[in-house]
Amino acid sequence: MLCIHNKSTNPYFNLATEEYLFKNKTEDIFMLWRNEPSIIVGKHQNTLSEINYEYVKENNIKVVRRLTGGGAVFHDLGNVNFTFIQTGDDEKLVDFRKYTAPIIEVLKKIGIEAKFEGRNDLTIDGKKFSGNAEHVFKNRILHHGTLLFSATINNLTEALKVDESKFNDKAVKSVRSRVTNISEHLQKEISVEDFIELIYSNIKEMYTDAVDYELTEEDNKIIDKLVSEKYSTWDWNFGYVANYNYTNKVRTSAGSIEITMNIHNGIIEKIKFYGDYFSVLDTEDLELKLTNIAHREEDIKRALNGIDINKYFHNLDKADFIRLFF
């Protein structure tokens, strides 16, 4: 088994690394890694309906889609992530208990009783500190999990606080749970780095064929290509499986405005404005300009370039108008 302590904290690179190792290596692999503040959404989720867009934008939080299903999770440097990649028989590949057992064992060694509960969670005193997900490719399984060690829970809560009334879709929804940090239950204080070392050492003891592995220059070259072509792109992180109806109604300086949109693969196929606002020009002309573009702030700004919003919504600031879309 190749054991990798991935020191990168770039979520685009780290998620791309998982896919590269999963689909291009033949050895069994274990990897530990951390991300700078980011939201990692499940493969089958509508990203915009899972994130607090304004908070994410203001705090420069990266948003990345992963290969596995399940719900959206918040990562920061107080969150430790672990990945197992193994080859095996098809019917025996999916096994959440197998891959979370080493984590429970490490916690027991430092005096914490953790339990596997539900489909894919680890808990302490009934509170969740780890969510896990899996993906099968041919005869290979990728299992990864999050471990809240000393994460900033308030940031987690705010980043994932969504106005669900805006979105109507069939995408997989995240299930919110009461969460806790591992550090809150320690009998003796240790750092997140020490905790990482405990897990790493435990895995090397469990697997007699375990050897340290560092990504090579060639590995990094291929991973960087995967980052630029997939994991850092809007098409993958926001446009993928983005089929939904969006509605937002707000009271503005121009009066009451309601916006409704039909989105397919992240593209605005239909848009309509309603309200008691006053206008000089017919808003149907504006609706046409905003049709067949991506539901993305840059594209909306580009479509509005040179347009005087006041002529469509009297006394409305363009920035306030753009906020209607998210």
pLDDT digits (tens, 9 = 90+) for 69-104: 999 999 999 999 999 999 987 667 889 999 999 999
Residues 38 and 186 in one domain: yes
- Identify residue 223 by its one-letter amino acid code: I
pLDDT at position 91 is 67
Average pLDDT along the chain, 326 residues, taken 10 residues at a time: 98 98 97 98 95 96 96 96 90 87 96 94 96 93 97 94 87 82 95 97 94 98 98 97 93 91 96 94 95 97 95 92 95
Q: Token pair for residue 14? A: 């780290």
Return mean pLDDT, the chain: 94
Looking at residue 170, its pLDDT comes to: 81
Does residue 129 sit in the same domain as residue 226? yes
In the prediction, which pLDDT does 254 show? Answer: 84
- Report pLDDT digits (tens) over 204-241: 999 999 999 999 999 999 999 999 999 999 999 999 98
Q: Same domain for 61 and 210?
A: yes
What CATH code is carried by the domain that includes residue 298? 3.30.390.50
Q: Among the three residues 215, 239, 263, which one is the final residue of a domain in this structure?
A: 239
- At 174 the pLDDT is 80
* The model scores a pTM over 0.85: yes
Are 165 and 59 within one domain? yes
Range of the domain at 100: 2-239
Q: Could you tell me if 229 and 253 lie in one domain?
A: no
Do 198 and 294 lie in one domain? The reply is no
**What does the angle CA 315 – CA 317 – CA 319 come to, to the nearest 5 degrees?**
165
DSSP line for 3-63 = EEE-----HHHHHHHHHHHHHH--S-EEEEE--SSEEEE-TTS-GGGTS-HHHHHHTT-EE
Whether 251 and 179 share a structural domain = no
Q: How many domains does the chain have?
A: 2
Do 13 and 109 sit in the same domain of this protein? Answer: yes
Task: State whether 146 and 19 are in the same domain.
Answer: yes
